[in-house]
Structure 1
């Protein structure tokens, strides 16, 4: 449901939202990708759709690189440059199966894509031969995220790989990850998100859980990791468990936002292991969340589809002014 600080965008996609990404330069501009094959750019202050670029296949992820340019990952395996000024597409390269995730490394200026073909590929978008390398993975890639120095890849079979971006950037092709891990979650990973302070990452599963992990291998650092139950409801004594589809860290406060198929968004203080707030329930499952670079706005993409295949799609995008609702509460002295 909408509140005074929350608006629902007009001209939403006609199929499920797959990803949201705010412009790194203009906090009013929001990219929305969808299973309907579109990448749409909105001015959220005016509730105005500025452009819609149509792909041949469902778009599973999108990343906003700079004003006028984005990169998309398609179910047809394509990784494409999206020219938001001209409304055109250019194929950067292809995977042998669906391209599930795209991540831009702002530290080293290259693009990364992960696929169900069990590879992670690195792309130099300025080169006439853009593919830097294809790094084989043990399983299909379900989700990726990066901080300044690392790329975290979550896969089927509970595989997790942490890569040093400096090594991936080398055209010589260092293909060994810095860390080989097993997911802290027992069931399929839906989403992974890197902490803003570069200390670790969060991952979520189809079984209503979130895990908090740290890179450092010391006993002290590893003792801080934990997992917790979330996005669950109890009705008439029966616990209903929902997938956690969306994760992102707040850029100012390093608090964690999660969205689930229970149609709710929660904000967590990972240091105190407590929920700060639950945003009032939406009409449909939350599939994607994004926070603007300065933390002023939170975008939420909703729509039933994966869990309720017999229901009509109800795609919608909400944008709310964040204020300090994601700020950790003062710790008791």
Structure 2
């Protein structure tokens, strides 16, 4: 049976990211503009349980788990990348950018932690057993990054001016290892690493989110103008002819089409081609990316959907709700920020083409 709970002890300000642990389907991390990171056990009691809260110096914009479910990394407006031991709550500095850090991802296969900052750089950190092995390397970007995402072999960076850079993680790891000084020196190398591919977004307006397919074949990206595009890595003419884009998260109001940003995307970890989108209209929608059809749309949430995440077993969907700045209201009042955990019924997320 499908069902939904609202987690207790939600953040007091807007939610910037929700992330399920890579191994534990009941372990959820949440980043907030209230300067805290929250760790929940989503299956404890009727409304989950807050296990830990770790304060930062400024709003936290993104986070990810590391090599295990007890290690997390955070990025925020304090310009810093931090490591958190979730067992003790101890926070330690990994590196600092020269502007706010918008996104952070971890590749377990390559032991790479990559942060993307509004200073138009990537920091590439090599980790061993969760600890920094080399001083991070800096990769300059041509414009400000808005969102990054990983597959087992690729890093996709979506930037301003609708630019998309795709890096090969094996090459990134090798070049970073060769050029990085020791962590003790505190120095940072600047690498002139060319991306594996450079593209222009198929969407006409500013990118809001990018999310890679778990099968390593491509990615989806969304815009501020109620559209989602699906693209493949394979540069062949045949594969590139498969890419497509569609309108979504639009509501008719007295005959006028009101368009909302698509804030969040997440591919299902098991059902190939299935992904979910969350919009400023307060809707969460399941899509079949293979047949290009909507699977289902859930009831409207009370405000904008800011972030979504699947549990590792694909059974649970975490949904972060914050008052959207779509209505011009930039003040978040108590009780307006909410966290929901939706349990999906068997087959609920299967695409039309799935067997």
In structure 1, the residue matched to 2:162 is 158
Aligned pairs for 1:138-149 (under 5 A) are 138-149=142-153
5+ residue gaps in structure 1?
A: none
**Are positions 1:179 and 2:181 aligned together?**
no
The DSSP-based 3-state class of the residue aligned with 2:325 is: coil
| Contact 2:125–2:132, Cα closer than 8 Å, also in 1 | no
Structure 1 moving runs of 4+ over 4 Å: none
Q: What is the deviation of 1:329?
A: 2.2
Match of 1:135 in 2: 139
For residues 167 and 79 of structure 1, do their structure 2 counterparts lie closer, same or farther at Cα, with a shift above 3 Å needed? same
The number of aligned residues is 330
User: Any conservation in 2 of the 1:41–1:49 contact (CA below 8 Å)?
Assistant: yes
2:225 to 189, 207, 210: 207
Deviations 1:58-103 (CA, angstroms, capped at 9, x unpaired) = 0000101212210000112100001111112101001111110000
TM-score (norm 2): 0.90
Q: Do the aligned partners of 2:303 and 2:324 also contact (CA within 8 Å) in 1?
A: no
Q: Give the corresponding residue for 1:167.
A: 171
Determine the C-alpha separation between the residues in 2 that align with 1:326 and 1:280: 16
| 1:14 counterpart residue number | 12
Contact 1:121 / 1:131 at 8 angstroms: preserved in 2? Answer: no
RMSD: 1.6
Distance verdict in 2 for CA 1:272–1:87, change over 3 Å: same
TM superposition shift of 1:131 = 3.2
TM-score by length of 1: 0.95
Query: 2: CA distance between counterparts of 1:269 and 1:242?
Result: 21
For residue 108 of structure 1, what is the aligned residue in structure 2? 110
The 8 Å contact of residues 162 and 201 in structure 2, kept in 1 or not, is answered as yes
8 Å contact 1:63–1:70 — kept in the other structure? yes
1:164/1:281 CA distance change after superposition, 3 Å: same
Mapped partners of 2:19, 2:229: distance in 1: 23
Q: What is the SS of the residue equivalent to 1:167?
A: helix
Aligned to 1:62: 63
Q: Give secondary structure in 1 for the equivalent of 2:102.
A: strand
Q: Does 1:118 align with 2:120?
A: yes
Matched, 1:329 2:352: yes
